[in-house]
Amino acid sequence: MKKINLLVAVSALSTMAFLYLPLMAVAFFSVNDSKYGLEWKGFTLDWYVKLFQNDLILQAASNTLVLALVSTFVSTILGTILAIGMDRFPWPGKMNTALDLVMHLPVIIPDIIFAAAMVVAFGFLRTLTSVFDPGLLNMIIAHITFQTAFVALVVRSRLAGIGKEIEEAARDLYAGTIYMLMKVTLPLLAPGIIAGAMLAFTLSLDDFVISFFTAGPDSITLPLYIYAAVRRVVTPQIHALSTLVLMVTVILVICMERITRKVNKKQKRL
């Protein structure tokens, strides 16, 4: 048994190393004072300083944020209403299956197919109006589409978890539909909605493929910028940018964990 435990520990730790080694390397070489190659030529923060003087990168950062915030905001609303609509009404079985299938589509088809469909669809819309030229609007629409499905799935599982009883009690006390929704259902749902929104936000930040197919020249996001740059040449500046993105990710994940755990604790007390 001891031997196995040791084996498990060694394997687990080397897997962690495997996940982190490349990311550490990026961080390490982001402070290397050499433009080409990987020889260590001394410590510098120049690459970071230069990032903040680069308008393109600042623009990309702001695009990434606007995209993630707007799409998360819209998709959280759409997804929540959709989840309530699906779970709180007695739909016939067949219709339920159909709705279910549509909602699962973004989860079960590879994102590149969704992206391809978007390219073709926007191509058609573009013949009607130039509003659909590649750009932030297209990206926001595409992101909302897959985020809505994910939010709805998360919120619905939470809805199923709440059960009937509390809402029935509210009705017994003569709560109207809107009153019940605002004062009973939504507050109970809040953890699910927050979890859904956070999932949507991170999915948007994490996305590359869908943005790649829908972006225009003014709506480059950070991942797109890094991809284009890497295909030309890998510079320490890109390492620096990636390291910053990584650091923001770490902070975000830790915040998410904190909030989820707090919400869970609260829930347990209820």
Partner 1 sequence: MKKSALMVLALLLVLILFSGPAFCGNGELKIFTWSEYMDEENMPKDFEKATGIKVKLDMYESNEEMMAKLQAGGLGQYDIIIPTDFIITSLINLKLIVPLDHSKIPNIKNLGTKFSNASFDPGNKYSVGWQWGTVGLMYNKAKLKDSDVASWDIIFDPKKKPGSFYLIDSVREMMGITLVYLGYDFNSTNPKELKAASDLLIDTKKRKECLGFKGGVGGKNDVISGVADAAVVYNGDSIQTVSKEPDKFGFIVPKEGSEIWIDSMCIPAKAPNLEAAHKWINWVLEPEVGAALSNYNQYATPNDAAIPFLNKEDLKNPGIWPTPEITKTLHFVKDLGKSNKVVDQAWTRVKSH
Partner 2 sequence: MNKLIIWYGELITGNKLLKRGVFFLTPGMLWLVLFLVLPGFILVLVSFAGRGTYGNLIWEFSLENYTRLIGYGIFGWTLDYVYILLRSVWVAFVTTGLSVVLSYPLCFYIARKPPRTRYLWLTIVIIPFWTNMVIRAYAWFLILAPELPFARLAAFLNLVPAGMPLYPSAMAVYLGMISMFLPFVALPLFSSIERMDWTLVEAAQDLYASNFRIFMHAILPQTLPGLSVGIILTMVPAMGMFVIPDLLGGAKYMLVGNLIQQQFGASRDYAFGAAISIGLMILTLFSLYLYKRKNRGIDLI
Contacts with partner 1, residue ranges (CB under 8 A): 36-37, 59, 62-63, 65-66, 69-70, 73, 119, 122-123, 126, 130, 132-136, 186-187, 190, 216-218, 228, 231-234
**Of partner 1, partner 2, none, which one sits near residue 50, judging by CB under 5 to 8 A according to partner kind?**
none
DSSP 175: -
d(CA 124, CA 133): 11
Taking CB under 8 A as the rule, does residue 88 contact partner 2? yes
Number of residues that bind partner 2 (CB under 8 A): 99
What are the backbone angles phi and psi of residue 48, rounded to the nearest 5°?
-70, -40
Residue 48 found at the interface with partner 2 (CB under 8 A): no
Binding of residue 222 to partner 2 (CB under 8 A): yes
Residue 208 — φ and ψ, nearest 5°?
A: -120, -50
Interacting positions 7-26 with partner 2 (CB under 8 A): 7-9, 11-13, 15-16, 18-23, 25-26
Smallest distance, partner 2 to C-beta of residue 53, A: 21
DSSP state of 163: -
**Nearest approach, Cβ of residue 227 and partner 1 (Å):** 12
Residues 193-212 that bind partner 2 (CB under 8 A): 202, 205-206, 208-209
Q: Reduce the DSSP state of residue 238 to 3 states and report it.
A: helix
Q: What DSSP string runs through 17-62?
A: HHHHHHHHHHHHHTTBS-SSSS----B--HHHHHHTT-HHHHHHHH
Contacts of 153 (CB under 8 A, 6+ apart): 83, 103, 104, 107
CB of 13 to partner 2, least distance (A): 8
- Is 192 in contact with 154 (CB distance < 8 Å)? yes
- Closest separation between CB of residue 62 and partner 2, Å? 16
Is residue 186 near partner 2 by the rule CB under 8 A? Answer: no
Interface with partner 2 includes 79 (CB under 8 A)?
Answer: yes
* CA torsion through residues 154, 248, 237, 219, sign: positive
162 binds partner 2 (CB under 8 A): no
Among 49, 56, 112, 186, the residue binding partner 2 under the rule CB under 8 A is 112
